[in-house]
Copies of this chain bind each other. A is one copy, B any other.
């Protein structure tokens, strides 16, 4: 039995609407998934909840769907961004997908002193986030931000970011003492409903200068992430998981 296909669309979803799908989706539905006119599918757009639809027309290059009934109300993930130093292409695709599964509401590439990648395709980040949302029943999409340099980002942070705090994973606090665990560090914020961001570094980590600067900032919370060294993407998954467990919707 064929499973129901779940598609992200840009158009508004409402009762009886007829939506034209782009050529890539027509190809996916017809050539890849062997669907035909009359088949049902599931639609979401990040704003209007989840809807059942029926393929009204499907040929090689075009497809349209009639929107039928809403099956789920719109829901939002907790307000948690992932700030990450971009890495090579394949791991970056993975990171965008897994961060979306883990419920981030924003993805922002950050250029640090040891970042080697010079350009990030935000289109590609968005495509990966959509793919993960389609496959994992998520109804909203993370916002994708343009890459920023770390010093610029931090300089503007407290003015622009509306009280959003940054969780920075490091072994030591600013005074040289051992950092608390993420659970210990986040516990005092449990009833405050603040927006947050998890920050992970590049391969090779942050420089000492960057670490000292980060720890001096009032909106940064420093916590340690276990006794073993983690790669940047693994650290991101672990920190997002623990944030969701303590402050999020897990």
Contact = CB atoms under 8 A, between A and B. Distances in A.
Given A226-B250, A229-B136, A249-B227, A102 B241 contact: no
Given A181-B250, A237-B234, A242-B245, A101 B135 contact: no
Interface in A56-105: 77, 94, 97-98, 101-103
A231 B94 contact: no
How many copies of this chain sit in the oligomeric assembly? Answer: 2
A249 B228 CA distance: 10
Nearest to A249: B227
A182 B242 CA distance: 11
28 contacts: A98-B231, A98-B234, A98-B237, A101-B231, A101-B234, A102-B228, A102-B230, A102-B234, A102-B238, A103-B226, A103-B227, A135-B229, A136-B231, A137-B228, A138-B228, A181-B245, A181-B250, A182-B245, A226-B244, A226-B248, A226-B249, A227-B249, A227-B250, A234-B237, A237-B241, A241-B241, A241-B242, A242-B242
A74 to B, nearest CB: 14
A183 interface: yes
A225 interface: yes
> Which of under 10, 10 to 19, 20 to 34, or 35 or more describes the interface residues of A?
20 to 34
B230 A137 contact: no
Contacts of A183: 245
Contacts of A242: 241-242, 245
Interface in A196-250: 225-231, 233-234, 237-238, 241-242, 244-245, 248-250
Contacts of A238: 102, 237, 241
Contacts of A248: 226
Contacts of A135: 229, 231
A136 B228 contact: yes
A113 to B, nearest CB: 15
Given A97-B231, A101-B231, 18 more contacts: A98-B231, A101-B228, A101-B230, A103-B226, A103-B228, A136-B228, A136-B231, A137-B228, A137-B229, A138-B228, A138-B229, A181-B250, A225-B250, A226-B249, A226-B250, A237-B241, A241-B242, A242-B245
A230 B136 contact: yes
